Structure 1
Amino acid sequence: MKKFSLILTTLLTFCFISSSFSQEAKKYENPEWYTFTYVDYHPGMMGEARDIIDNYFKKASAQAGTPVPVMEVSLAAGEYDMLVVWKMQEGVESLNWQTSPSQVEWRKAMDEIAGGTEEAQKIMEKYRKCVRASSSNMGRKL
């Protein structure tokens, strides 16, 4: 029985190794990549944060023609209050930008909506003060 088990193990190992060497490289066809940002707000600050998002950030995106989240979820349990899902328009290629053209356009629109660069900076700082913690991840749609 031990000899049979050893032969079977050897045979299966050989089949597994040989099949892994015979595989061909294959890229995903039209992959869709998304970023997921989890946000935890300081107690009582989510309303103020949502006001800033609705009155400034979303308006800047609309004016600049930049992407908006494909989904925003108010979380009912766990350590985070909100999940924001963004489609990565250029896929993982978008990770190669230090500052993307859409970020530049969005910031111009934000400055205009806020009434100037300094005012926009103050609004963004006010939003950051609402955030206790955040975490981001990315994934490919199956």
Structure 2
Amino acid sequence: MNDYYFKTSKAYGGQLPKMILRSFTGSYDMMIVWEMKKGLTEFEWETSPDDIAFYTELIKLTGSKEEADKIIKEF
């Protein structure tokens, strides 16, 4: 998260998470909560403009689309 997601969000002017909850038991390592700036209308997008900006910046950070896709798949 620190190496890719937070750096990418800062680079394109996106928002950082409002809350991060770390888990030491169960199936998941953490739960991350972001604010929905435009409310429920954000669910109307299959791929939002913010998603596109984030992905474009992640490609720049990782150096290739393939590396960016690996990071996204792992997340």
The one of 39, 43, 57 equivalent to 1:109 is 57
Aligned position for 1:56: 4
Q: How does 1:87-98 map to 2 (within 5 A)?
A: 87-98=35-46
- TM, length-normalised to structure 1: 0.48
Structure 2 CA distance for partners of 1:65 and 1:77, relative to 1, 3 Å: same
Identical aligned pairs, as a percentage?
32
Aligned position for 1:22: none
* Runs of 4 or more above 6 Å deviation: none
CA distance in 1, matches of 2:65, 2:24: 36
Structure 1's unaligned 5+ residue stretches are 1-52, 129-142
SS at match of 2:46: coil
Structure 2's unaligned 5+ residue stretches are none
Q: Which one has more relative contact order, counting CA pairs under 8 Å at least 6 apart? A: 1
What is the CA RMSD across the aligned residues, in angstroms? 1.7
- TM, length-normalised to structure 2: 0.84
